[in-house]
Amino acid sequence: MSEGDKKIIEGCINGNRHAQNKLYNRYAASMLGLCMRYAKSKEEAEDILQEGFIKVFLNIERFRAEGSFEGWMKRIMINTAITHNKQNLKHQYQTDINEIEEIHVVDEGLQDDVSMVKIPRAKLMSIIQSLPEGYKMVFNLYVFEQFTHKEIAEMLEISINTSKSQLSKARRLLTTKIERETGSKNIVIT
Amino acid sequence: MDLNKLDDIFKEGLEGYSQQPSKGLWKKVSGGLLRYEISHFNFTNLPKLWIGVAAASIVAVSLIIFNPLTNNTADNAIITATEKESPGIESSQANQSISIPTETETDSKQSITGTPNSLESRKAELSSIIEEKIISVDPSTENQFGDITHSVVKPPSFEDESAINPGENTDKQQNFDQSKIATTIVAAAAAVNKVSPEPGKIQTKLINEQGEVEISEMESRQANLSTEEKNREVNEIFVSPQPTILVSSFDRSDHESGKIQRMHSLSYSFGQFFKGKYKAPKRRFNEKSSALYKGNTPYYSIAAYFSPELTEYARTASTSKELSYIAGVALSYNNSRFMVEGGVELSYSDDVGDYMVDMQTFDSIGYYNEVGGFVPDPDNPGSVIFETNMVPVYDSVQHNLHQQTQNQYTYLQFPLMVGYQAMESGIFSAYIKAGPSFSFLLNRQEQNIEFYDPDATINQIENYTPTRRNTSIQVLVSVSMKFQLSEKMGFMVEPTYRYYLKSVYDNNNSSLKNPYGIGVRGGLYFDL
């Protein structure tokens, strides 16, 4: 951790609003990217981000600088996202795949290679966001955060089998969506 | 599609994905923090150093400003602050020169204190001090007292030695400056005198505490009395041809000092702000508000405040500390830790007007003990008991009275300050500010003195009040401590120090210290 980061963190521990503002400016964009994967929309992601930053500032004195500060923040954001969505999880896990609305992915790339299709990252994000909450949670935690099913089950207070099932369904749904957009062509992410 | 490939597509595509949040999101975050901090506010959570500095500075400044002992503001027109004796007048020597029993000393003090407002009152006051004195007299000298009709008035300059060692005393009398001897009259209660064999001299017998009879001689002068005391049975009274007069602490200042003290003992209540327990405001926060903590975003803030300020004015003859009351509004531009503040203030300042009253009063300048009679002491053969009566002596005395009036000055002030946020912790923040302040005199109310004393003949009244300048420039330094009460407003406490770059008086005396003042601003601020 750089000296600058240490000073900022010290300022945040002392409740210095300017230091908090600096920390926010440094990490807000990347943390919003994380929150976007757990939310349906940017507005919801910002709600999670807001709540998460408040938790970060109120608990920053607990950070012991043994690991990455960004990793510590990410964990708080993920937990916040989980808490944020928990009240709807029960309903969301029961969402049928047929109820999911269609995502219209527009291929913006010029098809230089007929065997390749370009997908912007924002399109990928919107595909993730379109997943039912339960699928999205499990998929994010398993694929991006690399938690085990056991850990996911504990975090989401579901069974391990449910976690596996949700992941399987999420993958199937995503495959369908991707194939619908790209056919069997190779994907290039732009 | 291969599941691992699917995972990789998303991981590769969204790993490290970032997106700028909306502009107002920081306001929501800081607003949420503010809500939490206010609802969990506790003075013990604040930085102890700053709280200590704040509390100490507020208490110190308040004590300085509101301590009535340091406030020598004169009240309206006729307030006698000091009385300056005429040249040659020596005060309080009477008490110092007394070498007689305590009882008599007490009487002496009684006879020379108080205000000689009128002759009748003086007489009433002094006639009550009639005593019987028991004097031991050597039987061999008893016949010398046959023609005793009055007791002795002892010149103070003889002092103790005259009572203890009559021989030396006699020598000293001969060399003694008559002008000093003459009317420096003090109490010499237990005394017996007789007419000196030499014309114009009185031989005095004093009985000291050991019961020894002491004899002294002094020059006599015809009493220059112009009152009915002349008609009393007084053979001679020592009055100097040159009226060097001992007016012991008898002037008005004693009498007036109590009055002044009472007038200045107004108690000011301050520090009520912190008496009650702090309660978090029940305020609904508007998350779309643009006035939350701004972080590094520039913003404006407006404040309204009131400030009592104690200013020390150095003058040619004196230094006075006067209270000013300042009300003002200020607009500040805050950018990161720096701020620029401009304001308008109305200052209502007090100051004293100085007058010197040259007058003459008919004062008691001392007294003598008149012997009314004597009887043999039945318990102590060979001794007699004298009945004496204190008789005051009056003369015209010149006085120079320093009189003060209270003047009021109203100023329009424009402070312009820059500040730096020295610290911030939650809802508490502290700024150090400094800058110039420009003052313009709007109005002056200077009272003329109205001096009246029925017993005095006023010769002249001189006005020594210096003229105030119409403009002045000061340097202001302050520490502003802010407590955020809600998302938009808070209160501030700001000890200030004001240094005048020039004297406020229109004089050319560059040796005078420039005025300075300390005050405490208290007020509310609103973030725009």
**Which residues on neighbouring strands pair with residue B494, listed in sequence order?**
B521
- Considering only CA atoms, which of B352, B313, B312, B311 is closest in space to residue B507? B313
Q: Which residues of A touch B425 (CB under 8 A)?
A: 14-16
pLDDT for the residue numbered B497: 92
* CATH 1.10.1740.10 intervals, chain A: 1-87
Average pLDDT rounded to a whole number, residues B480-501: 86
Looking at per-residue confidence, does B47 or B199 come out higher? B47
Average pLDDT rounded to a whole number, residues A104-117: 48
Report the alpha-carbon distance of residue B154 to residue B191 in Å, rounded.
Answer: 9
Please report which confidence band the pLDDT of residue B397 belongs to, taking 50, 70 and 90 as the band edges: confident
CB within 8 Å of B100: residues ≥ 6 apart: B108, B163, B187, B188, B189, B190, B191, B206, B208, B209
Please report which confidence band the pLDDT of residue B198 belongs to, taking 50, 70 and 90 as the band edges: very low
Q: Spell B184-200 as b/e; 16+ CB within 10 A means b.
A: bbbbbbbbbbbbbeeee
**B70 found inside a domain:** yes
Q: Which of B2, B8, B9 to mutate to test the interface with A (most CBs of A within 10 A)?
A: B9
Residues B417 and B309 in one domain: yes
Q: Tell how strand B516-527 and strand B130-135 pair up.
A: unpaired
Rounded to a whole number of angstroms, the distance between the first and last alpha carbons of chain B is 57
pLDDT for the residue numbered B412: 93
**B43 found inside a domain:** yes
Please report which confidence band the pLDDT of residue B207 belongs to, taking 50, 70 and 90 as the band edges: very low
pLDDT for the residue numbered B478: 92
**B516 found inside a domain:** yes
Residues B475 and B343 in one domain: yes
Considering only CB atoms, B18 lies closest to which of A24, A32, A50, namely: A32
Q: Tell how strand B130-135 and strand B428-445 pair up.
A: unpaired
Domain interval for residue B148:
92-250
Residues B44 and B154 in one domain: no
Last residue of a domain, one of B192, B218, B250: B250
CA separation, residue B285 to residues A60, B26, B298 (Å):
24, 15, 21
Looking at per-residue confidence, does B227 or B71 come out higher? B71
Q: Which of B8, B14, B293, B420 to mutate to test the interface with A (most CBs of A within 10 A)?
A: B14
Last residue of a domain, one of B215, B230, B250: B250
CA separation, residue B239 to residues B182, B206, B360 (Å):
5, 20, 18
pLDDT for the residue numbered B1: 57
Residues B61 and B176 in one domain: no
Domain of B493, CATH number, reads 2.40.160.20
Residues B127 and B179 in one domain: yes
Residues B483 and B342 in one domain: yes
* pLDDT 10s digits, B498-523: 998 887 887 666 666 788 889 999 99
Considering only CB atoms, B425 lies closest to which of A14, A53, A57, namely: A14
DSSP annotation string for B121-143: HHHHHHHT-EEEEEE---GGGGG
Q: Is residue B324 helix, strand or coil?
A: strand
**B315 found inside a domain:** yes
pLDDT for the residue numbered A90: 52
Q: Which of A10, A13, A17, A182 to mutate to test the interface with B (most CBs of B within 10 A)?
A: A17
Query: Which residues of A, range 161-190, sit inside 8 Å of B by Cβ?
Result: 171, 174-175, 178-179, 187, 189
Report the alpha-carbon distance of residue B22 to residue B9 in Å, rounded.
Answer: 28
Residues B422 and B499 in one domain: yes
Verdict on whether the full-model pTM lies above 0.80: no
Q: Among the CATH numbers 1.10.1740.10, 3.40.50.2300, 3.40.190.10, 1.10.8.60, which is that of A1-87? A: 1.10.1740.10
Phi, psi of B288 (to 5 degrees): -90, 0
* pLDDT 10s digits, A127-165: 888 888 888 889 989 988 889 999 999 888 888 899 998
Residues B71 and B119 in one domain: no
Q: Is residue B389 helix, strand or coil?
A: strand
pLDDT for the residue numbered B36: 80
Average pLDDT rounded to a whole number, residues B417-440: 87
Q: Which residues of B touch A29 (CB under 8 A)?
A: 18-21
CA separation, residue B406 to residues A170, B77, B413 (Å):
88, 7, 22
pLDDT for the residue numbered B281: 38
CA separation, residue B226 to residues B10, B150, B223, B371 (Å):
121, 19, 9, 21
* pLDDT 10s digits, A68-108: 888 888 999 999 988 888 765 555 544 444 444 444 444 44
Residues B161 and B235 in one domain: yes
Question: Among all residues of chain B, which has the CA nearest to that of A17?
Answer: B295
Considering only CB atoms, B10 lies closest to which of A24, A30, A128, namely: A128
What is the second-level CATH architecture of the domain A94-190? Orthogonal Bundle (1.10)
Considering only CB atoms, B14 lies closest to which of A14, A128, A178, namely: A128
Please report which confidence band the pLDDT of residue B341 belongs to, taking 50, 70 and 90 as the band edges: very high
**B256 found inside a domain:** no
* pLDDT 10s digits, B38-66: 777 666 666 667 777 777 777 777 777 66
CA separation, residue A37 to residues A22, A32, A123, A171 (Å):
24, 9, 12, 15
Rounded to a whole number of angstroms, the distance between the first and last alpha carbons of chain A is 31
Residue B486 to chain A, least CA–CA distance (Å): 15
Residues B238 and B303 in one domain: no
* pLDDT 10s digits, B140-187: 444 444 443 343 333 333 344 433 344 444 444 444 344 333 333 333
Q: How many domains does chain B have?
A: 2
Residue A188 to chain B, least CA–CA distance (Å): 9
Considering chain B, what percentage of its residues have pLDDT values greater than 70?
Answer: 51
* pLDDT 10s digits, B94-147: 333 333 333 333 343 333 333 444 444 444 444 444 333 333 334 444 444 444
